[in-house]
Structure 1
Amino acid sequence: MKPLSFMLIAGEASGDLLASELVGALRERVIARSINDTADVQPLRTALAPEFFGAGGPRMAAAGVELAFDLTQHSVIGLSDVLKNISKFRRLFKQLLKLAIERQPDVIIGVDYGGFNLRFGKAIKAYVRKHRSEFVPWNPKIVQFVSPQVWASRPGRAYTLAENYDLLLSIFPFEKNWYARRVPKLRVEFVGHPMVGRFTSAECGVRSAESNGPTIVLLPGSRNDEVRRHLPVVTGAFELIRKELPTATGKMVLPDESLAQTVKSSGLPAGLELQIGGLTDALAGADLAITKSGTITMECAMFGVPAVVFYKTSWPTYFIGKQIVSVKYLAMPNLLASEEIFPEFIQHKATAENIARAGLELLRDESRRRAVKATLAQIIASLGGAGAAGRAADAILSLKP
């Protein structure tokens, strides 16, 4: 019997981590299952040593995924960056499509990276419709792990998802009902948020050491353009806070040395140190975070750290986003709470003065800090227990062949 074969595509660092966890859970379950399943409804067949291949990053490679290339190295943000790199992405897309057709995996799993993965799923479905026959029976299941945020912009895309996905794995509790009201034929499973369980209770919500003043974590981004755009804002806000609270200290956490060199060349204000990696330790010891919007806001929530959220992008990207984004907030903790627990400052409002003022309020108002922490605890409790990757693997393996 041919081993069960999975193709995975992850284009960003967060998806690379999530995919690596999913691979471990799938491998464990496939090996543990009997080849002869006696259930009335036959799930996807099982066999020892499942095959994993596709495109992703170093964590997927370490998990045993055979990578055609490191897609995370090509990550871009904003409309202008996408347009600059469109020919490159077309080439990578065609390369992956050719790989899928040659290898004919049983399941194709897109991990986050919603736009690219949806186009890939559509291309696979179109190919199958055109070429499938009794001589070419290949008809892979198409799975998306982490829903595109269609509920935030262009909700009509939900119908496109329903046409091209066999299974959508959701990490936020409200998404399953949202899809059920609009596209009931799309199978959606809430598997919980993957961050729950990655950190121990000792790490979350416990400050690492006593200090004379508050510790502020600055998180300007993980891409060079982001950091360059955000650096004057976050360092300026830190300096303004320190004028009011001279004992405050800060850590700017960056993912790699190249970004650290970018920051060092611009100079650092007094009281602020650079840290490469170690976000968990930094948040465990933080009293406040000043962070760009994105997945990182959920990590702040996980650690119970009050945060000020900001973002600046190119004006063309911002203008288009304003036309299509329909939600009130950008930070996911705010969306889940249906209120602005983390103050948000986007584009022209993302000034050092605005961010510093909001940060000082969160540092000085103890009753507000307690209320924010209580709301964050409620949010985390709603996200499901540890084991999102395992629940996702179970849902994938339940698909009928």
Structure 2
Amino acid sequence: MKYYIIAGEASGDLHGSNLMKELYKNDKDANIHFWGGDLMQSVGGTLVSHYKERAFMGFFEVITNLLKIVGFIKLCKKDILKFNPDVIIFIDNSGFNLRIAKWAKENRFKTNYYISPQVWASRASRVKDIKRDIDQLFVILPFEKDFYNKYNYEVSFVGHPLIDAIAGRKQVSLTKFREEHQLGDKPIIALLPGSRKQEITKMLSVMVSLVDDFSDYQFVIAGAPSQDFSFYKHIIGSKEIAFINNKTYDLLSVSYAALVASGTATLETALFKVPQVVCYKGGYISYQIAKRIITLKFISLVNLIMDKEVVKELIQNDFNKLNLKKELSKILKPENREQLFLNYFELEKKLGGKGASKKVATQIVNALKEIS
């Protein structure tokens, strides 16, 4: 069978790579073309476009790059027609994927979506488009199935793929990790400022401003695979801060606390049982638009899944040195950490256990066999 997978950003690349592994297990003759990144490319198949080429963040940034985005959409449609896949699998990345999905359905391609667009956060009207354009939707958050049921749309809850990604990784020795990266004996505070240049620029300068106030700890930046150290160095300046590129999971596994940009990383940090402060600061115009259309009580997946404030969120103007110092001090105290750990264990239970990628691949392949 021929599979066409479209993923964006580092998280989509991770989940796409695990899905590809399972597709190859289920279908020995699988032929896969994909939009993704290095992790998907390491599995096999044919890379059409790397997500680094289209990493635009926020409403304003998307608007200013419309010509580029239109060009990518044209390229994608042309390549799909040429490849003529048995199924197109969309992974997250709704801004791009929902446009392709509408066209794909009109052209009678079979469409599957893995990791739902966040229509439950804003613009729920898009559900009607998803129902029209997507043959099968696989959701990974426990509350999503109930959400879609309200619109009479049956979806499959498969559990969260991060459970597998984290459980399947090789364990890291703290001693060896410190030696390899020339780290001292102080407890580690991980800095996860995001993966795109716009968010790193806004987040990291505030995060590193705390270094001198927490001299009993060492701060370590988790570098994104999409960015070079030279970009971070420009923001860090003369401060002595360790930098470890493309080893976020290893870093989290040995960290005592973390400052984390809102996104998938907040859930990853929770699954590693690391106390965290969630940070978000977008461009002024993008933020003003977002706060008018997003109806959620929280921005972090941790709090959304638990339906209560488990981790502190510092958003836009609240994200400043004074507040960040106060909240970091809190999660370093034993009495606060104990409750966080209890909440993290409850969170993991809600996520539905292992095997998300395997469940999705099995259902996709079996559905194709039935109609072939």
The alpha-carbon deviation at position 276 of structure 1 amounts to: 1.6
Please give the per-residue CA displacement for 1:360-398, whole angstroms capped at 9, x wherever unaligned. Answer: 01112x222111111111111221222211001122124
The DSSP-based 3-state class of the residue aligned with 2:255 is: coil
Gaps of 5+ in 1: 32-48, 129-138
8 Å contact kept, 1:144–1:169: yes
Bigger helix share: 2
User: Does the CA contact (< 8 Å) of 1:249 and 1:271 recur in 2?
Assistant: no
| Pairing 1:61–2:41 present | yes
Instruction: Give the Å deviation of 1:237.
Output: 3.0
CA 1:21 to 1:82, structure 2 compared with 1: closer, same or farther past 3 Å? same
Q: Quick check: 1:375 aligned with 2:348?
A: no
Q: Give the CA deviation at 1:20.
A: 1.6
Q: Which one has a bigger Cα radius of gyration?
A: 1
- Normalised to the residue count of structure 2, the TM-score between the two structures is 0.91
Deviations 1:137-174 (A, max 9, x none): xx322011100111111112111111110011111111
* Aligned-partner residue type, residue 192 of structure 2: L
> TM-score when scaled to structure 1?
0.85
- Structure 1 position 52 matched with structure 2 position 32: yes
How far did residue 213 of structure 1 move? 4.8
Inter-partner Cα distance in structure 2 for 1:103 and 1:274: 41
2:85 matched residue in structure 1: 105
Distance 1:252 1:123 in 2: 41
After TM superposition, list the pairs within 5 Å mapping 1:229-244 onto structure 2: 229-240=202-213, 242=214
The one of 259, 284, 288 equivalent to 1:319 is 288
In structure 2, the residue matched to 1:156 is 125
Instruction: Check the 8 A contact 2:276/2:311 in 1, yes or no.
Output: yes
Q: Distance in 1 between matches of 2:227 and 2:148?
A: 41
The aligned amino acid for 2:73 is F
Question: What's the secondary structure of 1:195's corresponding residue?
Answer: helix
Q: Amino acid of the residue matched to residue 390 of structure 1?
A: K
- Tell me which moved more, 371-380 or 216-225: 216-225
Matched, 1:208 2:174: yes
The 5 A counterparts of 1:22-41 are 22-31=19-28
Q: Give the corresponding residue for 1:272.
A: 241
Letter in 2 for 1:195: L
Specify which of 198, 213, 221 is matched with residue 252 of structure 1.
221
Distance 2:290 2:189 in 1: 30
Superposed CA RMSD: 2.2
Q: For the residues of structure 1 that align with 2:92 and 2:239, how far apart are their CA atoms? A: 38
The 1:202/1:84 distance shift into structure 2, 3 A limit, reads closer
**Larger deviation: 194-203 or 335-344?**
194-203
Q: Measured at CA, do residues 101 and 323 of structure 1 come closer, stay the same or move farther in structure 2, by a change above 3 Å?
A: same
Matching of residues 284-295 of structure 1 within 5 Å: 284-295=253-264
CA contact (8 A) 2:89 2:114 kept: yes
Per the alignment, do residues 273 and 327 of structure 1 end up closer, same or farther by CA in structure 2, a change over 3 Å counting?
same
1:46 corresponds in structure 2 to: none
Q: How many residues align?
A: 362
Structure 2 alignment gaps of length 5 or more: 179-183
SS at match of 1:9: strand
C-alpha displacement of 1:52? 0.9
| Cα separation, 2, equivalents of 1:231 and 1:162 | 39
SS of 2:124's equivalent in the other structure is coil
Whole-angstrom CA distance in 2 between matches of 1:239 and 1:262: 22
